[in-house]
Chains A and B, each alone.
Chain A
Amino acid sequence: MLDAAVLAAPPCDTTAPVVPLARQAWLLAKNDLRQELRDLELVLTAAFFTLVVLVMFALAFAALPAADQTLAVPGMLWLAVAFVGALTLTRIFDREREADTLRAVLTWPVDRVAIYFSKLGVTLLVITGCGALLMPALGLLFPAAEVFWQRPLDAAALLVLGCLAYAAVGALFAAGLATASGKNVLLSVILYPLTSPALIFALVSTRALLEGHAQFHTYLGQLAALDAVLVAVASWLFEPVLLGSNARPAERRPSARAKRTP
């Protein structure tokens, strides 16, 4: 848990020159990316996991008839994205947690929402990167998914919008778990039910793309609208979830009596 001094600290140094939110987020994300480039831990782990999942899907579903592939490929794509996303999100705040640098980040003269956008950006980059490996590979392995090669712009837009919905919710709760004394295993319990509506939108859109459905762009628009709602709600909730402004401090929760009883 963060100490009271950090919780009470103002989010910004009012005497410092005003830096736009986007630039603050970019500077924080650049810092994360620079650290990632030094050891490539997150990228290599996520890419390797994607490869393993892909091989398993290929072994299990290679003999599927083309009609069934149209139903199975969207599931393969978004299930893999959900797993890779959970893997990425469990690590996204680990550097801050392990080196105890979250306290330092919170005392920087930055808007706290910029921390959310920086983590969202890095998560999105990693998940979309893995999706960019998955989509062409699925297109090569399954004839029904060749459309990923034939309509790359539509496929890319679908991938980015689907991953954004997942990352928007995930980055918020990963931040909450980084400062709570709970374990990261809770992330999966929270993440999968919450991201399911977004994943269903993405599944429906992917199926529409594979079937050449005329309403594909309408579905894409709905997914974009859902992204906007999720990012807006998550950025609005980020500061209280990260720091808390609760009426009852943590030690005064209903279980306090039980925990403090000798």
Chain B
Amino acid sequence: MIKHRLPLLFFAVAALATPYSVQRIFLHTGIEKKMGTVQKIFYFHVPLAWIMMALGITCGVAAAIQLRKAATGRSRMAESLSIAAGELVLVTGLGVLITGPIWGHATWGRAWTWDARQVSTGLLWLVFAAFVLLRRYGAAGSERLAAALAVFGAVDVPVIYYAVKIWKTTHPTTDVVGSLPAQMWNSLWPALGALVCLTVGVLLVRIRQEQDAAELDDAWIALDDRGRALTLGGAP
């Protein structure tokens, strides 16, 4: 019972945290001197980017377990988790790729500068788009390829994180978040919490859907096999 109610709990927390976070960001946090009001997008862009990277790693680890473990319940659970997390990387990645250029346009004067972090984030999104396409439209056996793709996608995550340190880039370094004034930190946490709760809720629902679909498949195939055996006159 708790398993079924858990997503609802996360959605309820997200429903409470989102309005609180929005009013805090827009009414109780000062406007940044250099960038102005557009800097408010930071409170959505940064949490979305963190969630995207966490989901990318989750998807890769789950896909690795799916590939390495033999036919066990753990492997099936890992497969469902990798599918759900992979799809959510696409959604959160889209959020990052939309909010980032809006912020960039106001700060750098150009929405897309082919900056190292922009390119690596775009590539990560493409890898997971290929993962979702393979899972959805690939022929029999392509789930193994999709899982391997997800593992390499997870390897791409540290590349994104260190891109601003390795290459010359216009993107703010990863140290910027650490040096924020306390007021901004206090507004970032509720925004992060609301988005994490929403993401975890959707993730749990999608995992459940995938597991139900797999169980339905098994039941349907067992019934179909039994029907065929009876038609051929063999033992059921």
Binding site for B on A (CB under 8 A): 1, 169, 172-173, 176-177, 179-183, 186, 189-190, 193-194, 196-197, 200, 204, 222, 229-230, 233, 237, 240-241, 244-248, 250-254, 256-257, 260
Contacts and interface: CB of A to CB of B under 8 A. Distances in A.
Nearest to B60: A233
B35 interface: no
B140 interface: yes
A222 B166 contact: yes
Given A252-B217, A256-B217, 5 more contacts: A176-B144, A190-B134, A230-B155, A240-B68, A247-B79
A172 B217 CA distance: 29
In the complex, which of the residues B149, B153, B218 has the most CB atoms of chain A within 10 Å of its own CB atom? B149
Interface in B162-199: 166-167
B143 interface: yes
A196 B71 CA distance: 33
B166 A245 contact: no
A243 to B, nearest CB: 9
A250 B140 contact: yes
A233 B151 contact: yes
Contacts of B69: 245, 247
B8 interface: no
B152 interface: yes
Contact of B139 (A182, A204, A245): A182
Contacts of A186: 134, 138, 142, 145
B74 to A, nearest CB: 8
A182 B142 contact: yes
Nearest to B156: A197
Interface residues of B, number: 49
* Shortest beta-carbon contacts, A-B, top 10: A180-B141, A250-B140, A240-B67, A247-B76, A193-B126, A247-B75, A182-B139, A176-B145, A181-B139, A247-B71
B79 A173 contact: no
B67 A245 contact: yes
Given A190-B149, A194-B127, A248-B214, A260 B221 contact: yes
A260 B227 CA distance: 13
Given A193-B127, A197-B123, A256 B68 contact: no
B141 A250 contact: yes
A190 B137 CA distance: 13
A173 B129 CA distance: 17
B53 to A, nearest CB: 15
B141 A181 contact: yes
Contacts of B149: 173, 190, 194
Contacts of B167: 204
Nearest to B129: A193
B115 to A, nearest CB: 12
A241 B146 CA distance: 9
21 contacts: A176-B148, A181-B140, A182-B138, A186-B134, A186-B138, A189-B134, A190-B145, A197-B120, A197-B156, A200-B120, A222-B166, A233-B155, A241-B67, A246-B66, A246-B75, A247-B72, A248-B217, A250-B140, A253-B143, A254-B213, A257-B221
